[in-house]
Chain A
Amino acid sequence: MRGELREARLVEGFATLADTLVEGYDVVDLLQNLVEICQDVLSVEAVGLLLADEGGELDLVASTSEDPRLVNAMQLDAEAGPCRLSFETGEQEALVGLSALDDAPAGWFAFRRAAEQLGYGSVAAVPMRLREKRIGVLSLYRFEAEALSAADLRAAQALADVATIGILHERVAREPDAVRNQLQRALNTRVVIEQAKGVLAHTHGVSTERAFELLRGYARSNRLGLHEVAQRLVGRTLIF
């Protein structure tokens, strides 16, 4: 991507994130925007975002694709892969050349095989943290077996930081419970979104992957949150 064009889209991305951070915003909408902006701005093919639950387990909350195979790979990454490592170290981690006999930990094998089968060549994991508080990981998938450029990594970290600060802002010190509740709510929202995908998959006779696109499209064109649309679909008060 040409330099200026990329800069322009990055600025637009930050503006979109900032727009999402209005009073009463939904964390899932914020994170869904974040992964889509990353996919748009960075040289990556797929982006996932995982939040930690109270037990420190990472769960996929937003992804640029709902392909179950990719979701599975991301979830394996969260158990044993660069994503898990990044959450533990609080640093950026990467794995380049998924098929190469490198010195990657043996425990990462399941994740590596799953990602490789989908054609991915490298993965970068960017922590979502503010000082010592870690809330999740942004994971970036590339087809190329080549590390993400330093500029892309900086941009990814900056986008992740905006979202993290948006979630945590100054409440960490004041109301630790509020943050925990908000993160838990985001994880719960994911449950309702999965159910809504099932509803749409049946009513439209499409895959769950396509069902999410329909859900996302409806929410966006009607300026509604994903959670609200999903909730109404599941409660059968909304049919489209």
Chain B
Amino acid sequence: MLSVLSVDLGTVFCMADAYTDALRELREFSGDDPSRLAEPIARSFPVSGASICTLGEILSAETVSASDPVAARLDELQLDLGEGPCWDALRSISPVFEPDIQHSPRGAWPMFLPAVAHEAIGAVFAFPLVVGHLRLGAVDLYCIEPMTLSPLQIRQASTLAAVVSRLVLRRALEAARDDEPMHPPVDRFSRRAIHQATGMVIAQLGVSVDDAEMLLRGHAYAENRSMAEVAADILDGRLRFSIEAEGIEDVQ
């Protein structure tokens, strides 16, 4: 009973432009207020709305941005109930697709499904927000009608989610740095160790210097330890980042 939305070519090209714009907008975002970030994501796909939320063990569960009240409600339900596509997406580090959530749901959510039955929501797609092995949240897309996403749209949404992931982590780390000088300033010797550990992470994951540094800092933040301590663990081989399937796991 899947009703496929027919879209003419003009709409498709428009979407492609909207996606490029969204990618640029998210990459260049440097403002203080992230509450409008879901809008360019929503415009990139033939969906009704989008939302960005943080959840999991590292960041507190909250909606960062929602393009409309229904998107906000979808997030709120999942965050309040502690279950739903965004939780599963984060847990599995892979997208979760519900093309017809009202009539043929794929997931088993005893509380979320009855709750979503009261909403004007036909399809839900959740993309995890992860940086390396750090699980941060999810981007949800919804459509009032049942619909499917094409493989290209899935790739595009995953790319946008990857950009949002870095943005969310960077903001969290900046906020943490501003809030409290958690750890004493790093001495020169430890700083060398941190640079060496950054190099190890670059080689372990094949990521850029910036990402490797962010992963180190994010790991330290998630475990409430200093970067120097995490660096020492990496150099000693007690902590190793490795790529496992799509996600990145740390091997302790």
State the CA gap A164–B199 with chains docked (Å): 31
Q: Give the interface size class of chain B.
A: 10 to 19
B73 at the interface (CB under 8 A from A): no
Residue pair B209, A234 in contact (C-beta under 8 Å): yes
Q: Is the CB of B204 within 8 A of A202?
A: yes
Given contacts A71-B189, A195-B195, A201-B235, 17 further A-B contacts (CB under 8 A): A57-B188, A59-B188, A68-B189, A72-B189, A75-B187, A75-B189, A194-B192, A194-B196, A195-B199, A195-B209, A198-B195, A198-B197, A198-B199, A198-B235, A202-B203, A208-B235, A235-B209
Which B residue's beta carbon lies closest to that of A201?
Answer: B200
Sample of 17 A–B contacts (CB below 8 Å): A68-B189, A68-B192, A71-B189, A72-B189, A194-B196, A195-B195, A195-B198, A195-B209, A196-B199, A198-B197, A198-B202, A198-B203, A201-B196, A201-B200, A202-B200, A203-B203, A236-B202
Find out whether the CB atom of A71 lies under 8 angstroms from the CB atom of B203.
no
How many chain A residues sit at the interface, stated as a range, is: 20 to 34
Give CA–CA (A57, B185) in the complex, Å.
15
- Measured CB to CB, the residues of A under 8 A from B are 57, 59-60, 68, 71-72, 75, 191, 194-203, 208, 233-236
Closest to A58 in B: B188
- Please indicate the chain B residues that have their CB under 8 angstroms from the CB of A57 in the complex: 188
Are B203's CB and A199's CB within 8 A?
yes
Binding site for A on B (CB under 8 A): 187-189, 192-193, 195-204, 206, 208-209, 235
Contact A194 B189 (CB under 8 A): no
What 3 A-B pairs are tightest by C-beta distance, nearest first?
A198-B199, A194-B195, A202-B203
Asked if B189 contacts A198 (CB within 8 A), the reply is: no
Q: Contacts of A208 on B, CB cut-off 8 Å? A: 196, 235
CA distance A201 to B187 in the complex (A): 22
Q: In whole angstroms, how far apart are the Cα atoms of A16 and B228 in the complex?
A: 38
Cα distance A213–B209 when bound, in Å?
Answer: 22
A to B contact number (C-beta, < 8 Å):
61
**Beta-carbon contact of B209 and A199 below 8 Å:** no
**B199 is contacted by which of A59, A68, A202 (Cβ under 8 Å)?**
A202
Q: Is the CB of A198 within 8 A of B196?
A: yes
Contact check, B199 vs A199: say whether CB atoms are below 8 A apart.
yes
Nearest-neighbor residue (CB-CB) of A72 within chain B: B189
Q: Give the docked Cα–Cα distance between A191 and B193 (Å).
A: 10
CA of A115 to CA of B197, assembled, Å: 25
Distance to closest chain B CB from A86 (angstroms)? 18
Query: B188–A198 contact, CB under 8 A?
Result: no
Take A71-B189, A208-B235 as given contacts and tell me if A236 and B196 are in contact as well, using a CB distance cutoff of 8 Å. Answer: no
Distance between A178 CB and nearest chain B CB, rounded to angstroms: 25
**Across the two chains, which residue of chain A brings its CB closest to B187?**
A75
Residues of chain B contacted by A68 (CB below 8 angstroms): 189, 192-193
Q: Is the CB of B195 within 8 A of A191?
A: yes
Q: How far in angstroms is the closest Cβ of chain A from B100?
A: 43
Among B193, B199, B209, residue most surrounded by chain A Cβ atoms (within 10 Å): B199
Specify the chain A residue showing the minimal Cβ separation from B240: A202
CB distance from A162 to the nearest CB of B (A): 27
CA distance A111 to B180 in the complex (A): 32
B199 close to A194 (CB less than 8 A): yes
A233 to B199, CA, bound (A): 9
Closest to A191 in B: B195
Of all chain B residues, the one with the shortest Cβ separation from A202 is B203
CA distance A60 to B192 in the complex (A): 10
A201 to B202, CA, bound (A): 11
A195 to B231 CA separation, bound complex (whole angstroms): 12
Residue numbers in B under 8 Å from A72 (CB-CB): 189
Scoring B189, B197, B202, B203 by chain A CB atoms within 10 A of each residue's CB, the highest score goes to: B203
How long is the Cα–Cα vector from A199 to B235 in the complex, in angstroms?
11
- Interface core residue of A71, A202, A234 (most chain B CB under 10 Å): A202
A68 to B189, CA, bound (A): 8
**How far, in Å, is A136 (CB) from chain B's closest CB?**
14
Known: A59-B188, A208-B235. A201 touches B206 (CB 8 A): no
A195: chain B residues at CB < 8 Å are 195-196, 198-199, 202, 209
